[in-house]
Structure 1
Amino acid sequence: MIAPSPIVQSFFDPQTWTYTHVVYDQDGGHGAIVDPVLDFDAKSGRTATTRAEEVIAFAKAKGLTIDWIIETHAHADHLSAAPFVRAQLGGQVAIGKDIARVQSVFKTLFHLEADFATDGSQFDHLFEDGETFSVGALKGQAWHVPGHTPADMAFVIGDAVFVGDTLFMPDVGTARCDFPGGDAHQLYRSIQRILSLPAETRLFMCHDYPPQGRSAQPMSTVGDQRAHNIHVHDGVTEDAFVAMRQARDASLAMPNLILPSVQVNIRAGQLPPAESDGRHYLKLPVNLF
């Protein structure tokens, strides 16, 4: 019996250049939501759920039972809407087990509350490298693909791979490696693991930053990446990639939403605990980054 090919519907947030994907086996069947986005206005500090509501409406219209809400990593460019989505649709909020390493680093950097747990317990499930899971009739496997951060994961579901921030579209390249715990050597090896899959394998992006003249696209293939990725096409050596990545990263500004995003995303999308006035506050470290 041939394994079913997943159906994927992608939703683009132009404010953060982020794709959220709904992957499912059939109408009326089971699905997973990958990297849901919470709207955040940095000028006012206000959140909204417009993007997440679009995803939720689609899942309900298709009659899907949501098994998983998957984070590919603790994003530095958008806030996660995982708790809101789970409240509306159910499902387990999951991430890779190495989120604990990221939590430990940022607990110190943001001087978080003493009882902030650094064991990943804010999430419903922590995936191990190679762990298998199901989305209805679909079979998936979690891959640890560090480099961008120590905790990045890719999720292989049938002939589809949700690559997180390892790869971008071929004309954009690859993710930066200068965040705490990032490593360009590791990223190169993680990418080679993904690109060892069959050429027709579909690769679903977490972001697209299209050059002028091209609209945003959610997907490429292994074959496209191997032939055309501007940073890591066939023939690019690890040393050449690392030299390129290090030089490029040194020229990049910090992401616009890194400070609020990381504080929320290491908590599985929850805001920090309310203070004595009942309000939630995010920290803005001065002269730290």
Structure 2
Amino acid sequence: MADRALPRLSGRPLVKGFFEKRTSSVQYVVADPETKSCAIIDPVLDFDPKSGATATHSADALLSYVDDQGFRLQWILDTHPHADHFSAAGYLKDRTDVPTAIGEKVVEVQKLWQSIYNVSDCCPADGSQWDRLFADGERFKIGNMDVEVLFTPGHTLASIAYLLGDAAFIHDTIFMLDGGTARADFPGGSAPALWRSIQRIMALPDETRLFTGHDYCPGGRKPAWESTVAQQRAENSHLIEAKTEEEFVALREARDRELPMPKLILHSMQVNIRGGRLPEPENNGKRFLKIPLDALEGEPWD
């Protein structure tokens, strides 16, 4: 992680969140209001684990919104390889021919999960499934607006945030105020790394708008996904309770031991290390997912 001053980018992008209720995920369209160029962040490919059915309703809704607003789609961005839903990046790439991107550490995630699945030929472990791999501190543009990449590992070893004007897309690091912080017990995860990533985010200007990637609606409230750095510092349930790295790691690891694995983790990772593409059809024309047994800690009957 680079030791450098945090960026102070100018501008106020237009942001529209789309809540996907099956996985409690939030997808985003973010646009430069001057040029109407936009990016899609963390799109979801619909999947029903009971039937094995896939669909593109969520991703198509993003494209419809882009079209309705008269935006020009410039990027399809993922913050990390998701463990709880299929990425629709591959589908959107095929539909639009717009470049896809993710953090450069995805290569390490590919190697790790190829080992878990005991496959070495499902896809090259070189990140070539995306058009661009971003390094910490790298900049690119959406229209006339600068975007800076911030390496934010902990939830996964490849997680990144996108900083654009007064907005930061932080996905699985900090949740809404009553939701605390993201888990860090997946393969490659680290509670100490997550603490350090959160501190980088908390060092952004107070007024920075933070857009999180999930909301599990504690207490049955309506979905929400936007807060500010100042609000999170003052009111985040985990950050209030844990003031030091040692306290946070103890809190986070104790909490993670109580959580079941996401129901789609073994389904989704083999799709998402392929850049959001389903496995190739086999000789009967059908696609199949591979589920390793006893590969992750935890017992479903606990």
TM-score category, normalised to shorter length: over 0.9
Q: Deviations over 1:85-137 (max 9, x none)?
A: 22333321110000011100100111224362111111111000000010001
Write out aligned runs for 1:7-26 (5 A): 7-26=14-33
Identical counterparts, % of pairs: 47
Q: Which runs of 5+ in 1 are unaligned?
A: none
Using the TM superposition, give the Cα deviation of residue 181 of structure 1 relative to its aligned residue in structure 2, in angstroms.
1.3
Q: Equivalents in 2 of 1:27, 1:256: separation in Å? A: 41
Which stretch shows the higher mean deviation, 218-227 or 231-240? 231-240
Q: Structure 1's 175 and 77: CA in aligned 2 closer, same or farther, altered over 3 A?
A: same
Write out aligned runs for 1:202-213 (5 A): 202-213=209-220
Q: Equivalents in 2 of 1:213, 1:103: separation in Å? A: 36
Equivalent position of 2:90 in the other structure: 83
Select the residue among 163, 169, 177 that pairs with 1:170.
177
Q: Structure 1's 191 and 268: CA in aligned 2 closer, same or farther, altered over 3 A?
A: same
Equivalent position of 2:79 in the other structure: 72
SS of aligned partner of 2:210:
strand
Q: Structure 1's 12 and 27: CA in aligned 2 closer, same or farther, altered over 3 A?
A: farther
Equivalent position of 2:102 in the other structure: 95
Select the residue among 28, 31, 42 that pairs with 2:38.
31
Q: Deviations over 1:190-234 (max 9, x none)?
A: 000001011110000100111124211121110110001111249
Give the root-mean-square deviation of aligned CA atoms: 1.5
Using the TM superposition, give the Cα deviation of residue 83 of structure 1 relative to its aligned residue in structure 2, in angstroms.
1.8
Equivalent position of 2:11 in the other structure: 4
Select the residue among 240, 244, 265 that pairs with 2:247.
240
The answer as to whether partners of 2:10 and 2:166 remain within 8 angstroms in 1 is no
Q: Deviations over 1:64-87 (max 9, x none)?
A: 111111100000011011122223
The answer as to whether partners of 2:104 and 2:127 remain within 8 angstroms in 1 is yes
Q: Which 4+ stretches in 1 moved above 3 angstroms?
A: none
TM-score using structure 2 length? 0.92
Which stretch shows the higher mean deviation, 25-34 or 90-99? 25-34
The answer as to whether partners of 1:4 and 1:137 remain within 8 angstroms in 2 is no
Q: Equivalents in 2 of 1:181, 1:83: separation in Å? A: 24
SS of aligned partner of 1:143:
strand
Q: Equivalents in 2 of 1:7, 1:58: separation in Å? A: 13
Q: Deviations over 1:152-194 (max 9, x none)?
A: 0000011000001011001001111111111111100100000
Equivalent position of 1:56 in the other structure: 63
Q: Equivalents in 2 of 1:175, 1:234: separation in Å? A: 15
AA paired with 1:21? Y
TM-score using structure 1 length? 0.96
Q: Equivalents in 2 of 1:232, 1:224: separation in Å? A: 11
The answer as to whether partners of 2:184 and 2:191 remain within 8 angstroms in 1 is yes
Q: Structure 1's 26 and 89: CA in aligned 2 closer, same or farther, altered over 3 A?
A: farther
